[in-house]
């Protein structure tokens, strides 16, 4: 093979290897369960007593998982009822917070009893 053909062939092989490596990385990243705690961007206690929380990513969050709802003064436990896009609906397990309360929600998918 001439030098030009060999260089072209090597370039194509390297490009193919990079494409395969990127595809494999993407597949592994998106197929593995999410195990890091995630905190909401914002959350509000609704009039019906449920919490509506917005997350940057809801990957790995599933109904039935336990969460911690906290304000500056207090914290309480909640359970994930539904996930819809970036929004998560939670219901209180322990004490309820008053309607209209701004709060933060943290969900730890790796915590015992999270699933």
Give tens-digit pLDDT for 5-29.
Answer: 788 889 899 999 999 999 888 887 7
CATH class assigned to 38-107: mainly beta
Q: 61 and 55 in contact (C-beta within 8 Å)?
A: yes
Whole-number Cα distances in Å, 15 to 1, 4, 20: 20, 17, 9
pLDDT reading at 35 higher than 80: no
Ramachandran category for residue 31: left, alpha or beta (phi over 0 → left; psi -120 to 50 → alpha): alpha
Query: Which pLDDT tens digit goes with each residue over 58-99?
Result: 878 889 999 999 999 999 999 999 999 899 999 999 889 999
- Whole-model pTM: value is 0.66
Nearest to 111 by CA among 1, 36, 17: 36
In which band, very low, low, confident or very high, does the pLDDT at 103 lie, cut at 50, 70 and 90? very high
């Amino acid at each position: 093979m001439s030098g030009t053909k060999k260089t072209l062939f090597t370039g194509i092989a390297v490009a193919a290897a990079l494409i395969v490596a990127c595809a494999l990385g993407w597949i592994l990243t998106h197929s593995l369960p999410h195990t890091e705690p995630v905190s909401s961007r914002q959350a509000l206690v609704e009039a019906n007593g449920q919490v509506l929380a917005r997350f940057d990513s809801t990957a790995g969050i599933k109904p039935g998982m336990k969460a911690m709802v906290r304000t500056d003064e207090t914290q309480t436990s909640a359970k994930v009822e539904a996930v819809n896009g970036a929004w998560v609906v939670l219901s209180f397990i322990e004490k309820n917070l008053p309607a209209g309360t701004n709060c933060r929600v943290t969900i730890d998918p790796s915590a015992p009893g999270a699933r």
